[in-house]
Structure 1
Amino acid sequence: MKRLVWFRRCFTVVEAIWWEKRLKKYRRDWKINLIEQDNPNWDDLYPNLF
């Protein structure tokens, strides 16, 4: 089962690529903390995008 648990809106492709590269540098525990700050229950955010 796949869920969208975190996302960041970007206004340009360049900005989106910059964020992707930045996130890849961090450890897993930092990424988990990032998710849990905004989505502590790890709810699927996809249905609310539109």
Structure 2
Amino acid sequence: MSDIASHAEKTQPGIVDEVGRFYAQHAGLIKVLGGAALAVTLSKMKENATR
């Protein structure tokens, strides 16, 4: 993950700070989106396991 952040910072200076500020302002939204992504992933895994 730090490699991604390092690359992003090189190509767009300040992006890591900007993402950090966004997360700080919208932590609840990020948690909801993460939960939704996990639910979709688990659903797809179950779907594939029953085939």
TM-score (norm 1): 0.42
TM-score (norm 2): 0.42
The structure, 1 or 2, with the larger RCO (C-alpha pairs under 8 Å, 6+ apart) is 1
Larger Rg: 2
